[in-house]
Amino acid sequence: MRIDTVEKIKDLARGAVLLGTGGGGDPYVGQLLLQQEVREGRYPHVIEASELDDDALVVCVAGIGAPTVLVEHLQGRDVCKHLLDTMESHLGRKVDAIVPAEVGGLNSIIPLALSAQVGLPVVDADGMGRAFPHLEMVTYSVYGCRTCPMVLANEFGDTVIVDSTTTDRKAEDIARVVCGQLGAMIYGMLYPMSGADVKSKAILGSLSYSLEIGRGIRLARTEYDDPFDGLLNILHQPDIDRHARVLFDGKIVNIKRETKDGWHFGHVEMCGLTDSSQTFEIELQNEYLVARQNGRMVCIVPDLIATLDRETAEPLTGEALKYGQRLKVVGLAANPMMRRDECLNVFGPKAFGIDNGFIPLEDLQIDD
Amino acid sequence: MRIDTVEKIKDLARGAVLLGTGGGGDPYVGQLLLQQEVREGRYPHVIEASELDDDALVVCVAGIGAPTVLVEHLQGRDVCKHLLDTMESHLGRKVDAIVPAEVGGLNSIIPLALSAQVGLPVVDADGMGRAFPHLEMVTYSVYGCRTCPMVLANEFGDTVIVDSTTTDRKAEDIARVVCGQLGAMIYGMLYPMSGADVKSKAILGSLSYSLEIGRGIRLARTEYDDPFDGLLNILHQPDIDRHARVLFDGKIVNIKRETKDGWHFGHVEMCGLTDSSQTFEIELQNEYLVARQNGRMVCIVPDLIATLDRETAEPLTGEALKYGQRLKVVGLAANPMMRRDECLNVFGPKAFGIDNGFIPLEDLQIDD
């Protein structure tokens, strides 16, 4: 897969914002970094996981912190290169490939920008098929890979190596407080893994799926009266385990936000466009966690909730939401791997303090 | 200097508690670690700074955290050995010697215990001639050495390398939050320096001075009616820049403590034994910062304040103080190097939010 035009970058970022389920970072910041490389003739090189040697050394690179801070805090390309140099020096070995940790407007693009900059391939995969607020909430960790050694840095050169931790949650806890000390938005290189690990433990194809979605939205704007018709044709294909539905069509009547401990917590309230007695609410911690229609749950983590402009179907991150905005909210089934019991233990509803058990999107009722 | 008997260990720890000015760690924990080595025939090897090669690699090792937590939280000898292995691996070079960061019941002994365990020499010096709550409050930092790379670890194997920071205060900030995540009491190896740096930037002779003080207190208990007479003969020798005086003789009538952000904050109130209208108070952040008699300042950081049992002259750390205890409080002039302007900028009264400027102990008035 070649990402060699600004249009493709925008398509990929657009699709990644949808799969980022409110989080995963602002696409504008990520695009700027990648566009700079592409304009100067350096392109990211995307490979299939199957192309990796089993003993290849593969690492994740990601932005870590509160998305609300990221949008105010544009960072240079030098940070991720510095992470790579530090990781290679620490491990005493060259890195062979990069794999995204999550899907998102920033965190799908950052690995591509680093790929273009240094010439390493990026694997078409990630560890969630979506975005999550915690570093340990990845299939890599659930299936036995370790977050550490992890390198953290900001653009000023403050650099911390979390060498080893008793649990991946502890690595997350350390990264979060270090992030707070280093400006609330940092970059991290983590999950040094083998090629064999990536092949067996990653959610495969998430970069190409992001591109498919982003391109589909763009084309649907001219090909369909309602671009959501074209979008749903992509997102809802039960024969290949894709389930999606429009959960709500309405406007935002209230948003509560708090940026605390390096996260963006929030609560979004909506009502129907014509019938304001119809209510809809979404809870978020960087990413959307649960959606309720008229008080009844209609989609819950790890299934995906996406907020899109109701006219253009442009996906919007949680920090881009504003009072009065008219949105359609779409629910998507998580990748089947993400719904396994061992995964739900790490990033199911209880991991976020939500009392409900997980119920698949396609088994939940919604009011028309 | 040989530290080859349990009596010498106790003497050294006793003197180090006095110079630790309320902090520097509980001597019992440190003694246990060193006694284990000495009982098994492994002795620390103490050298003069002048014996170091100029290009020797010298590092500090210290306990970091709230002393109130340390006394509940005995750690094994493996942590400091692990720090050394990690530091050597990170720097790609063998360490040649250890130097204490500060003087204190724990932090003078920990370097000696590691010396005995691994056979490296310990330099008879430190970076303060006392104890301080912050990592950057050392002459090493004031005169241009850097805290980082710094290795932090707890006894569970959680290990963090703070590779580089823009300032040493930033390294302190990171260490403090990492400490909070790793159990509020951790060990650190820091300030990798050259032998030439130690010779020119350290406070020299602080281990032998601790031993002299601790031995002096022990002997004074039998040789003098009041052991404080013998102790003051050691501490107060103006011809060699040693100034000391008894600041107060009384009992504790109130102690407020708070363990917060990895520090022990406190306020100690005393009154006279016969005249309860005579008041005395000490503020502390791990270490004693300022003492006031009847509301008037009588000793202020970086000069030293020591609290001692009024019968035995046993020095007591801040966390060992109890309601009703009868104490003599002794003030000591800091080492002349510590009173220079560039040092006062980093660890003078203003660094602790105290409004007073620094006034040398010997220029302050006390009521008899």
Q: What is the pLDDT of residues A218-233, one digit of tens each?
A: 999 999 999 999 999 9
Q: Report the pLDDT averaged over residues A81-95.
A: 97
Which residue ranges form the domains of chain B, and what is each CATH number?
Answer: 6-204 (3.40.1610.10), 237-363 (2.40.390.10)
Query: Would you say the C-alpha torsion B135, B137, B140, B144 has a positive or negative sign?
Result: positive
Task: Round to whole Å and give the CA distance between A262 and B258.
Answer: 25
> In this complex, do A162 and B160 lie within 8 Å of one another by their Cβ atoms?
yes
From chain A, the residues in CB contact with B162 under 8 A are 159-161
Q: Which residue of A has its CA nearest to B150?
A: A160
Q: How much of chain A is in helix, strand and coil states, percent to nearest 5?
A: 35, 30, 35
Angle at A104 between CA A102 and CA A105, to 5 degrees: 150
pLDDT surpassing 70 at residue B68:
no
From chain A, the residues in CB contact with B183 under 8 A are none
Q: Report the pLDDT averaged over residues A211-216.
A: 98
> In this complex, do A162 and B164 lie within 8 Å of one another by their Cβ atoms?
no
The model's confidence at residue B284, banded by pLDDT at 50, 70 and 90, is very high
Task: Round to whole Å and give the CA distance between B261 and B267.
Answer: 17
Q: Which two tokens stand for residue A294?
A: 């008229």
Which segment of A120-124, B7-11, B184-188 scores lowest on mean pLDDT? B184-188
Measured in angstroms, the CA of B222 and the nearest CA of chain A are apart by 51
Helical axes A109-118 vs A6-19, angle rounded to 10°: 140
Query: Would you say the C-alpha torsion B315, B317, B318, B323 has a positive or negative sign?
Result: negative
Mutation target among B91, B136, B161, B166 for the A interface, most CBs of A within 10 A: B161
- Choose among B107, B132, B124, B127: nearest CA to B303: B132
pLDDT surpassing 80 at residue A179:
yes
Task: Round to whole Å and give the CA distance between A27 and A217.
Answer: 15
From chain B, the residues in CB contact with A168 under 8 A are none
Using CB atoms and an 8 Å cut-off, which of residues 275-294 of chain B contact chain A?
Answer: none
pLDDT surpassing 70 at residue B75:
no
- Give the model's pLDDT for residue A187: 93
Using CB atoms and an 8 Å cut-off, which of residues 70-89 of chain B contact chain A?
Answer: 86
pLDDT surpassing 60 at residue A272:
yes
The model's confidence at residue B76, banded by pLDDT at 50, 70 and 90, is low
Q: Report the pLDDT averaged over residues B28-38.
A: 87
Q: Above pLDDT 90, what percent of chain B? A: 83
Q: Report the pLDDT averaged over residues A8-18.
A: 95
Taking all residues of chain A, what is their mean pLDDT, rounded to a whole number? 94
Measured in angstroms, the CA of A169 and the nearest CA of chain B are apart by 11
Task: Look up residue B294 and give its amino acid.
Answer: N
- Give the model's pLDDT for residue B73: 56
Q: Which two tokens stand for residue B74?
A: 């005995």
Strand intervals (E) in chain A: 45-47, 57-65, 97-98, 121-123, 125-126, 150-153, 159-164, 185-194, 203-204, 244-260, 263-272, 279-285, 287-293, 296-300, 304-309, 315-316, 326-332
Q: Which two tokens stand for residue A365?
A: 């009722």
Task: Closest CB to B160: pick one of A90, A157, A160.
Answer: A160
The model's confidence at residue A74, banded by pLDDT at 50, 70 and 90, is low
Task: Closest CB to A181: pick one of B159, B173, B182.
Answer: B173
Q: Report the pLDDT averaged over residues B337-350.
A: 96
Q: Report the pLDDT averaged over residues B135-160.
A: 96
Using CB atoms and an 8 Å cut-off, which of residues 23-62 of chain B contact chain A?
Answer: none
Q: Report the pLDDT averaged over residues B187-198.
A: 97
From chain B, the residues in CB contact with A181 under 8 A are 170, 173-174, 177
pLDDT tens digits, one per residue of B291-337? 999 999 999 999 999 999 999 999 999 989 999 999 999 999 999 99
Q: Which residue of B has its CA nearest to A88?
A: B90
From chain A, the residues in CB contact with B164 under 8 A are 157-159
Long-range CB pairs of B241-245, under 8 A, 24+ apart, other chains included: B241/B333, B241/B335, B241/B336, B242/B332, B242/B333, B243/B332, B243/B333, B243/B360, B243/B361, B243/B362, B244/B330, B244/B331, B244/B332, B244/B333, B244/B361, B245/B330, B245/B331, B245/B361, B245/B366
> In this complex, do A86 and B163 lie within 8 Å of one another by their Cβ atoms?
yes
Q: Above pLDDT 70, what percent of chain B? A: 96
Task: Closest CB to B170: pick one of A158, A164, A177.
Answer: A158
Taking all residues of chain B, what is their mean pLDDT, rounded to a whole number? 94
Kind of pairing between the strands at B279-285 and B287-293: antiparallel
- Give the model's pLDDT for residue B2: 85
Mutation target among A78, A160, A170, A189 for the B interface, most CBs of B within 10 A: A160
Q: Report the pLDDT averaged over residues B71-80.
A: 70
Angle at B25 between CA B279 and CA B296, to 5 degrees: 20
Measured in angstroms, the CA of A61 and the nearest CA of chain B are apart by 18
The model's confidence at residue A365, banded by pLDDT at 50, 70 and 90, is confident
pLDDT surpassing 60 at residue B185:
yes
From chain B, the residues in CB contact with A163 under 8 A are 86, 159-161
Kind of pairing between the strands at A263-272 and A45-47: unpaired
Measured CA to CA in angstroms, residue A242 lies from A21, A103, A236, A332, A334 at distances of 16, 16, 5, 8, 8
pLDDT surpassing 60 at residue A73:
no
The model's confidence at residue A65, banded by pLDDT at 50, 70 and 90, is confident
pLDDT tens digits, one per residue of B81-104? 999 999 999 999 999 999 999 999
